[in-house]
Amino acid sequence: MSAPAVEFRSVRKSFQPGRAVLEDFSLIVGTGETVVLIGPSGCGKTTVLKLVNRLLEADAGDVLVFGRDVRQEDPVRIRRQLGYVIQEGGLFPHWDVARNVAVVPELLGWSQERRRLRAEELLAMVNLPAGEFSSRRPRELSGGQRQRVGMARALAGDPPVVLMDEPFGALDPIARRALQGEFLGWKRKLGKAVLLVTHDLSEAFRLADRVALLEGGRVHQAGTPDEIRDRPTDAFVREFVSGGLGTR
């Protein structure tokens, strides 16, 4: 059996002594699987993502990508192999859309022609025709368009794993639903392993193969949306799912 795309083994992480954000945190993201990590704000969801691409280091426990300990890898190299969609989009404001999308290929040393074709391909996929959008600057885009560019940028190097931090967070409900639908389309087509963080329960249920509920530094329950809904394993999960917590 091949190693899962991402695996956390009893990870501990604290930013202040004595107050662990993650404590005995374990989770597996299988190849091609979408795992949505959900929990109340401040529960350490973003921290989990940053441990994978080594923006943060675990204090204890292991983080493995395809069976290899990320601490053994060169951080710059591993980041280029992990797609990353960050919370606020984080587009480079001084670059046009095409260069933003093709930044990872540029870092990987692809030729200019190949980068251009790749940017066109991805922009078409996220419904931003290259002819119209390639040479625009991020400030000339709507919030939804920026998120689309951020998505295209994360996929440009064809990474086997994509980390997404609240990718639809800043959008109005209509744009949000539209982009979620598109996400499911790309997902089917590309078959990437995705670890997505959100605090929106309906989004989690819609996008996930499996949902993991994080609170108090550990996963309370990880399972398919049906399992979480129908067979909550503890009181926190039951309350969270019934809508008492976690919805905006």
Which residues contribute to the site for another protein (CB under 8 A)?
50, 53, 55, 76-77, 79-80, 84, 86-94, 103-104, 107, 137, 139, 153
Q: How far is the CB of 29 from another protein (least distance, A)?
A: 18
Pick between residue 85 and residue 123 the one whose CB is nearest to another protein: 85
| DSSP category for residue 72 | G
Specify the DSSP element, H or E, that contains 222: strand 218-223
The CA-CA-CA angle for residues 203, 207, 213, to 5°, reads: 65
Pick between residue 9 and residue 137 the one whose CB is nearest to another protein: 137
Pick between residue 64 and residue 103 the one whose CB is nearest to another protein: 103
Q: How far is the CB of 58 from another protein (least distance, A)?
A: 17
Q: How far is the CB of 150 from another protein (least distance, A)?
A: 8
Q: Which residue has the tokens 């404001």?
A: 93
Q: How far is the CB of 83 from another protein (least distance, A)?
A: 9
- Give the C-alpha separation, 25 to 8, whole Å: 7
Pick between residue 148 and residue 218 the one whose CB is nearest to another protein: 148
User: For residue 248, what are the contacts with CB-CB under 8 A and spacing of at least 6?
Assistant: 199, 200
Q: How far is the CB of 94 from another protein (least distance, A)?
A: 4
- 23 HSE (CA, 13 A, CB side): 9
Q: What is the DSSP string of 38-55?
A: E-STTSSHHHHHHHHTTS
Pick between residue 10 and residue 87 the one whose CB is nearest to another protein: 87
